[in-house]
């Protein structure tokens, strides 16, 4: 009942000016803070309370440092634009490490360093790294209050921009501290918790007993008397984002960019949580969660995993082209799921905001997101207009006069920009509170989570993979997830367009051996005697011979969701192919032959002008595309089987035998 940390909080706030921490009680949080403040050497410590005044103060600091600029309040009230260092624009997979004691447990998909070595390196990097700066203590909760799955984290950071983003993306506030246990056993463990590396390299790190996940972040640029803070401090050469799944802690140095610096998101809610979920029998996934309601009022919740920048936010906020259907949003990026005591899969969204890709977002593609962004939004690396608004490629059909690019190149005619490349960075983002989304699901904060009726995987594939297909079984569905493959996007550094395997869209986010992760997916529902939801695979990105998208996507994806709902209910028809069940064109409401269309439109579809027997608009596609859309080509799939075989080899003896069997089945069927 009592507030265990009220005392230290008040003392720290009072002592902020003197940069002195007087800690008398030995609670885990205090011990941890004490040792970290001593190591980082900040000039002041600020406990983030989550108040509105505090938000004003933090924004003012970011503006004074030049990190953020306010947008025109008449056009976008309480909105800001931040422009990053040109080298700090995306997640850095190269600098990301997963550091279990045993290298084998990181698996072939993660960079590994021994925790002892990594801790030593981090200790050197973080030593006095916050000199001249304020250390912000950000207590946060991932998940709805009262949920069994919710987890507490505390992030230490020297970036007020990061604090502002964390306040939008997680449940931040002093009340979270009351959820941290303060018993003496935990305190003792915390006292032993090594701020320096253990001497015996083989010694197991103690299981985290702090009662929260400690998250350490610094931009890595101390300020000295003579130096003034730059608009975007970062330390790219020394950048490292390290995860310790055994002791459940996170250390991130040198980057201020979202995925590297908002530690509740990819670091805690995916990499650390996936490792916890494996131990405790649940799933932390890179999945959106949406509610789909039919004209007769039947509602199904669906969870879907697509790799970064492959359409999760857009699908989660979809406005269906089909009358009477609606989609509501529970989450757009991360799902924590467990089977309840009745065997029903249930999911929560651990976040409370959206960190979405800006380019491509428009009134036509994602009206719900645009409505959300009208106020109270942080924009990062977007272009700005002459009247103080934001702009990005795809927002309007043509570039407005007098844009300033994300790199600050000002003015100019629209044509002058053609040589400069995109005006907004391709990975430009918006950060906005979930409450701002007009299609937010009423149950989005239900502590029990929403019941999941289907799981969908999807990738960005120019060829081979049809618009949608359904697995034959749970094992086959896990095989579909394990072999998910997609073109690289701007969301992470690296060669764009290259097709790579991204199992379960978790390649950059799985906190342990990916082979064990497949096994966890295969065996958990069987062990828990759970109901198995059907599994689907989608591809909005197949291209025709001319390079055009075959499928219009966005609102028209409702046609695919309608078929999925029909499959859940057992009413929609399909036909079997070597890779699984594919809908008929009639099920999708696609017509042939289509009317002629003049001109070279980018999207190879035409406006709707006919309706089916129920009055639903039919979609007419350019001649020939309707067959390509759902085609399963044996030659393409034989090549795919060979790719999958090479992919599977990397997991060695940790590849579950069911998956090699599924591969052999696919080889036979496509042979
Ligand atoms: P992260 O937030 O990085 O995990 O990505 P995400 O999966 O949420 O991707 P998002 O929805 O932001 O989409 C990324 C890009 O794909 C945007 O440029 C979208 O415009 C585009 N996109 C999304 N859905 C579709 C679709 O159905 N068809 C086409 N052609 N493009 C789409
Ligand atoms: Mn993501
Ligand atoms: Mn997204």
Our answer on whether the CB atom of 557 is closer than 6 Å to any ligand 1 atom is yes
Average pLDDT over residues 172-187: 74
Examine the pLDDT at 182 and tell me if it is beyond 50. Answer: yes
Our answer on whether the CB atom of 357 is closer than 6 Å to any ligand 1 atom is yes
Please enumerate in sequence order all residues whose Cβ is within 8 A of that of 562, keeping only pairs 6 or more positions apart, or say none: 294, 322, 325, 572, 589
- Furthest-apart CA atoms within the chain: distance in Å: 79
Our answer on whether the CB atom of 430 is closer than 6 Å to any ligand 1 atom is no
Joined together, the tokens standing for residue 614 give 């129920």
Testing ligand 1's pocket by substitution, the residue of 259, 305, 311 carrying the most ligand atoms inside 8 A of its CB is 311
User: CA dist 449 to 121, 351, 444, 526, Å?
Assistant: 40, 13, 8, 21
How does DSSP classify residue 204?
P
Testing ligand 1's pocket by substitution, the residue of 257, 286, 335, 360 carrying the most ligand atoms inside 8 A of its CB is 360
Centre of ligand 3 from the C-alpha of residue 311, in Å: 7
pLDDT of residue 69: 97
Our answer on whether the CB atom of 314 is closer than 6 Å to any ligand 1 atom is yes
User: Whole-angstrom Cα distance, residue 415 to residue 584?
Assistant: 45
Cβ-based burial of 646 (10 A; exposed 0-12, middle 13-18, buried ≥19): exposed
Lowest mean pLDDT among 28-37, 179-188, 551-560: 179-188
Joined together, the tokens standing for residue 564 give 């999925």
Lowest mean pLDDT among 240-254, 459-473, 589-603: 589-603
- Ligand 1 closest atom vs CA 553: 27
Our answer on whether the CB atom of 554 is closer than 6 Å to any ligand 1 atom is yes
Our answer on whether the CB atom of 553 is closer than 6 Å to any ligand 1 atom is yes
pLDDT of residue 573: 95
Confidence (pTM): 0.92
Our answer on whether the CB atom of 312 is closer than 6 Å to any ligand 1 atom is yes
pLDDT of residue 543: 92
User: Whole-angstrom Cα distance, residue 251 to residue 268?
Assistant: 11
User: Whole-angstrom Cα distance, residue 25 to residue 455?
Assistant: 48
The answer to whether residues 139 and 48 touch, using CB atoms and an 8 Å cutoff, is yes
Examine the pLDDT at 204 and tell me if it is beyond 60. Answer: no
List, for residues 329-346, the tens digit of each pLDDT value: 999 999 999 999 999 999
Which residue, among 358, 189, 339, has the nearest Cα to 277 in the 3D structure? 339
List, for residues 260-277, the tens digit of each pLDDT value: 999 999 999 999 999 999
pLDDT of residue 298: 98
List, for residues 116-157, the tens digit of each pLDDT value: 999 999 999 999 999 999 999 999 999 999 999 999 999 999
Q: Which residue has the higher pLDDT, 614 or 640?
A: 640
How does DSSP classify residue 434?
G
Mean pLDDT estimate for the chain? 89
pLDDT of residue 623: 76
Model confidence band, residue 17 (pLDDT cutoffs 50, 70, 90): very low
Highest mean pLDDT among 193-197, 358-362, 588-592: 358-362
* 254-290 as b/e: b if 16+ CB within 10 A: bbbbbbbbbbbbbbbbbbbbbbbbbeeebbbbbbbbb
Centre of ligand 3 from the C-alpha of residue 315, in Å: 9
pLDDT of residue 593: 60
Model confidence band, residue 70 (pLDDT cutoffs 50, 70, 90): very high
- Mind spelling out the 3-state secondary structure of 61-105? HHHHHCCEEECCCCCCCCCEEECCCCCCCCECCCCEEECCCCHHH
Average pLDDT over residues 302-315: 96
pLDDT of residue 209: 63
Q: Which residues are within 5 Å of ligand 2 (an ion), measured at CB?
A: 308, 333
Joined together, the tokens standing for residue 364 give 């036509």
Residues identified as active-site: 310
Helices 28-40 and 184-192, axial angle in degrees (round to 10): 30
Please state, for a pLDDT cut of 90, what percent of the chain lies above it.
74
Examine the pLDDT at 6 and tell me if it is beyond 70. Answer: no
Examine the pLDDT at 489 and tell me if it is beyond 90. Answer: no
User: CA dist 500 to 466, 484, 530, 549, 655, Å?
Assistant: 17, 9, 32, 20, 18
How does DSSP classify residue 340?
-
List, for residues 564-592, the tens digit of each pLDDT value: 999 999 999 999 999 999 999 889 999 86
Centre of ligand 1 from the C-alpha of residue 72, in Å: 27
List, for residues 495-538, the tens digit of each pLDDT value: 667 899 999 999 999 999 999 999 999 999 999 999 999 999 99
Is the confidence metric ipTM above 0.95 for this complex?
yes
Testing ligand 1's pocket by substitution, the residue of 165, 269, 313, 557 carrying the most ligand atoms inside 8 A of its CB is 313
């Amino acid at each position: 009942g009592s507030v265990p940390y009220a005392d230290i909080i008040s003392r720290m706030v009072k002592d902020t000016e003197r940069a002195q921490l007087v800690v008398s009680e030995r609670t885990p949080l205090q011990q941890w803070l004490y040792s970290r403040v001593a190591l980082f050497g900040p000039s002041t410590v600020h406990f983030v309370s989550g108040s509105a005044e505090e938000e004003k103060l933090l924004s003012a600091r970011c503006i004074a440092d030049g990190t953020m600029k306010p947008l025109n309040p008449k056009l976008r009230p309480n909105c800001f634009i931040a422009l990053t260092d040109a080298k700090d624009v995306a997640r850095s997979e190269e600098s990301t490490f997963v550091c279990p004691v045993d290298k084998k447990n990181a698996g072939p998909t993660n960079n590994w360093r021994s925790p002892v070595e990594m801790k030593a390196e981090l200790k050197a990097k973080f030593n006095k790294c916050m000199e001249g700066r304020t250390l912000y203590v950000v207590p946060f909760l991932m998940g709805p209050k009262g949920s069994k799955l919710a987890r507490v984290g505390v992030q230490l950071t020297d970036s007020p921009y990061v604090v502002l983003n964390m306040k939008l993306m997680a449940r931040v506030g002093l009340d979270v501290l009351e959820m941290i246990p303060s018993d003496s056993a935990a305190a003792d463990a915390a006292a032993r918790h090594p701020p320096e590396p253990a001497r015996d390299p083989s010694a197991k790190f103690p299981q985290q007993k702090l009662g929260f996940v400690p998250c350490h972040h610094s931009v890595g640029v101390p300020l000295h008397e003579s130096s003034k803070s730059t608009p975007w401090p970062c330390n790219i050469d020394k950048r490292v984002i390290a995860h310790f799944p055994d002791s459940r802690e996170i250390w991130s140095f040198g980057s201020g960019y979202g995925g590297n610096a908002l530690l509740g998101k990819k670091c805690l809610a995916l990499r650390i949580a996936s490792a916890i979920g494996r131990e405790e029998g649940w799933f932390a996934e890179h999945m959106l969660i949406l509610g789909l309601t039919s004209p007769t009022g039947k509602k199904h919740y669906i969870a879907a995993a697509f790799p970064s920048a492959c359409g999760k936010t857009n699908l989660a906020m979809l406005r269906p082209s089909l009358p009477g259907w609606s989609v509501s949003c529970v989450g757009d990026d991360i799902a924590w799921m467990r089977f309840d005591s009745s065997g029903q899969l249930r999911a929560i969204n651990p976040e409370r905001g959206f960190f979405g890709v800006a380019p491509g977002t428009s009134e036509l593609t994602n009206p719900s997101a645009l409505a959300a962004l009208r106020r109270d939004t942080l924009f990062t690396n977007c272009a700005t207009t002459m009247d103080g608004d934001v702009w990005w490629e795809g927002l309007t059909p043509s570039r407005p006069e007098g844009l300033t690019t994300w790199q600050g190149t000002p003015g100019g005619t629209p044509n002058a920009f053609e040589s400069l490349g995109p005006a907004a960075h391709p990975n430009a983002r918006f950060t906005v509170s979930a409450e701002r989304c007009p299609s937010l699901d009423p149950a989005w904060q239900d502590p029990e989570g929403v019941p999941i009726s289907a799981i969908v995987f999807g990738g960005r594939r120019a060829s081979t993979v049809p618009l949608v297909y359904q697995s034959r079984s749970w094992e086959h569905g896990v095989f579909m997830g394990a072999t998910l493959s997609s073109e690289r996007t701007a969301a992470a550094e690296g060669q764009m367009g290259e097709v790579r395997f991204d199992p379960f869209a978790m390649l950059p986010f799985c906190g342990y051996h990916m082979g064990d992760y497949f096994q966890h997916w295969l065996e958990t529902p069987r062990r828990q005697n759970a109901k198995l939801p059907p599994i689907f695979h989608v591809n909005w990105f197949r291209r025709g011979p001319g390079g055009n998208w075959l499928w219009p996507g966005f609102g028209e994806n409702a046609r695919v969701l309608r078929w999925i709902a029909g499959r859940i209910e057992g009413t929609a028809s399909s036909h079997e192919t070597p890779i699984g069940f594919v809908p008929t064109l009639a099920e999708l409401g696609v017509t042939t032959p289509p009317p002629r269309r003049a001109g070279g439109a980018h999207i190879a579809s035409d406006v709707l002008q006919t309706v089916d027997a129920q009055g639903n608009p039919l979609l007419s596609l350019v001649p020939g595309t309707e067959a390509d859309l759902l085609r399963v080509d044996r030659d393409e799939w034989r090549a795919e089987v060979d790719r999958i075989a090479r992919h599977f080899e990397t997991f060695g003896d940790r590849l579950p035998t069911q998956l090699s069997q599924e591969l052999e089945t696919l080889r036979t069927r496509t042979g």
